[in-house]
Structures are given as structure tokens and as C-alpha cells.
């Protein structure tokens, strides 16, 4: 396991992987430890952490904060992962084709990218979710639609600066096809910025989701961390725990994903490896 040996050398990445695994376990075991609906009224409202059998307290309506965090983990991971997968796929396709071919293909694709980019993304996401009606699907669509242009710009920039290099010209001379040059020669050379951008993007997706549900645009049937913070905002002064713990959950999850992303970068980037 050459890859694991390299990954393991980055201690914080291993630390991140452990946190992420804990979040995964929390998400998958939520139904076992907290079998009740996280929206249900579990006891006395506004209980402080440790009081009335609430580990992390309860909110204004007596909902269990800990239960909400456990069930919310599933929401965040699922939305973050799916939205990023869609966005990266779109971005690499658009950016790669535009950067490699240039000319009118570049013009058309970049006009489309520019249009999507020009619309302020978070307001656009709010708009998409509000129009399709708040649900898991509309949130994933909204996040993917606003996220892919960043990848496309990045990939296009890399492709443009690589396409005139000697090694690519050599490929042309030996008669290699365009698709092969793009996928086998140029793409591997710009994987590390894509991986860095991708790891940042899963984090961003989770943050956008929490922002949307903070503003009340989450799926009304599924608990999420942003919703919990939005609901606790009005009682910030008297019940700090309602806002604080879900925020820490977001922080730790996003942090873990970023650390894992960085570890992947270290393990996959041969140039950085030689440098050390």
C-alpha cells in the first residue's frame, strides 16, 4: 500500500480521517442511539446541557440538540458529497474542453461559465431552492449549479498553460488523439489543484447547505445543523448551547474533510514529495 504509506506520513490528515470516520459512525448510528424523530418534543424546553437527561441541552421547543446533531450529520455528509461530485464532473468537462481546444469552443463554454459565475452564487442558490421548493434534491442541484464554474475556471487555466508545453507538443507529433492527450497527459498534471479545490468544495457544499437551512430554506422534513442554529438564534443570550453545539459539529466535519483533502494532496502530488 504505497498510497497509504504516503498518506500516513501526514499526521493531521490521519487525525482528519479519524474525525471524519467518527462523523460517519455518528451519522449511520443516529437511528440506533436516537431512535425518536429529532423534530419530536423530547422534554422540558431550554434545558441546559446535562439537565433533564439532555446531553447537549434542548431548544425552545424541547427538541434534543444531541439527537439533532446525530441526525444532521447524515444530511450534511450526503448533500456535501453528492453536490461536489456533480460540480467537479461538470467543471472538469467544461474547463478541460475550453482550455484545450480554445477558439470558439472556449468562447462558447466560457460564456456559459461566466453567466453562471456572474450570478451571485449564494443568492442564486437561495433562488433555486425557493423556486423548486426546499428539499434534498433542490439543495443538491442548487449547490452543484453554483459550485462548478470555479472548477471550470481553474481547470481551464491549467489546461491553457499546459497545452503549449513541450511534452504536449511531443504528444501531438507522435500522433496521439485529443481525448487521450487531455485525459492521460494534461489532466494528471493538474490533478493536485483539482483535488485541493475539490476538498475545499465538499466543505463549501456543507457550509452552503448550513447557510441555506440557517435562513430557513432547508428540507422541512430533515433536520440539519444550519436549521438548529437558525432556530436557536433568537435565544442566543439565554440558551447559548442551542447555537453553539451544531456550529461546532459543522466546524469539526468541515475541518476533517479539509485535512483529509490535504493528506490526499500530499500523497498524490509527486512533485511535492520530491521536494521534501
Q: What are phi and psi of 62, to 5 degrees?
A: 80, 20
Residue 233 C-alpha cell reads as 438564534
Query: Does 160 participate in binding other proteins (rule CB under 8 A)?
Result: yes
Closest distance between other proteins and the C-beta of residue 50, in Å? Answer: 20
x/- string (CB under 8 A) for other proteins, residues 162-201?
Answer: --x---------------------------xx--x---x-
Q: Is 274 in the site for other proteins (CB under 8 A)?
A: yes
Span near other proteins by CB under 8 A; candidates 35-43, 136-144, 157-165, 168-176: 157-165
Q: Report the half-sphere exposure of 185 (CA within 13 A, side-chain side).
A: 20
> Is residue 244 involved in binding other proteins (CB under 8 A)?
yes
* Total of residues contacting other proteins (CB under 8 A): 59
123 binds other proteins (CB under 8 A): yes
Cα distance between residue 171 and residue 174, in whole Å:
5
Q: CB under 8 A: which stretch of 53-61, 83-91, 124-132, 168-176 binds other proteins?
A: 124-132
Q: Is 159 in the site for other proteins (CB under 8 A)?
A: no
Supply 51's cell numbers: 439537565
Give the contacts of 187 (CB within 8 A, at least 6 positions apart). Answer: 92, 96
Which three cell numbers mark 27?
451519522
Q: How far is CA 243 from the centre of its chain?
A: 21
Amino acid at each position: 500500500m504505497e498510497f497509504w504509506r504516503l498518506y500516513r506520513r501526514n499526521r493531521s490528515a490521519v487525525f482528519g480521517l479519524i474525525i471524519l470516520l467518527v462523523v460517519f459512525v455518528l451519522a449511520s448510528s443516529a437511528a440506533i442511539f436516537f431512535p425518536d424523530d429529532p423534530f419530536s418534543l423530547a422534554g422540558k424546553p431550554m434545558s441546559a446541557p446535562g439537565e433533564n437527561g439532555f446531553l447537549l441541552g434542548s431548544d425552545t421547543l424541547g427538541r434534543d440538540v444531541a439527537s439533532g446533531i446525530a441526525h444532521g450529520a447524515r444530511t450534511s455528509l450526503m448533500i456535501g458529497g453528492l453536490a461536489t461530485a456533480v460540480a467537479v464532473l461538470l467543471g472538469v468537462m467544461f474547463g478541460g474542453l475550453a482550455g484545450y481546444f480554445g477558439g470558439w469552443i472556449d468562447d462558447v463554454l466560457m460564456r456559459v461559465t461566466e453567466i453562471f459565475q456572474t450570478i451571485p452564487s449564494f443568492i442564486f442558490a437561495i433562488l433555486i431552492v425557493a423556486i423548486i421548493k426546499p428539499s434534498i434534491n433542490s439543495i443538491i442541484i442548487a449547490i452543484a449549479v453554483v459550485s462548478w464554474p470555479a472548477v471550470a475556471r481553474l481547470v481551464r487555466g491549467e489546461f491553457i498553460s499546459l497545452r503549449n508545453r513541450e511534452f504536449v507538443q511531443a504528444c501531438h507529433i507522435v500522433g496521439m488523439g485529443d481525448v487521450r492527450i487531455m485525459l492521460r497527459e494534461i489532466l494528471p498534471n493538474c490533478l493536485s489543484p483539482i483535488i485541493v479545490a475539490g476538498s475545499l468544495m465538499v466543505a463549501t457544499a456543507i457550509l452552503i447547505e448550513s447557510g441555506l437551512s440557517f435562513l430557513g430554506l432547508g428540507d422541512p422534513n430533515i433536520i440539519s445543523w444550519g436549521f438548529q442554529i437558525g432556530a436557536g438564534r433568537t435565544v442566543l443570550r439565554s440558551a447559548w448551547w442551542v447555537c453553539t453545539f451544531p456550529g461546532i459539529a459543522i466546524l469539526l466535519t468541515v475541518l476533517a474533510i479539509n485535512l483529509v483533502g490535504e493528506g490526499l494532496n500530499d500523497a498524490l502530488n509527486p512533485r511535492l514529495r520530491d521536494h521534501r
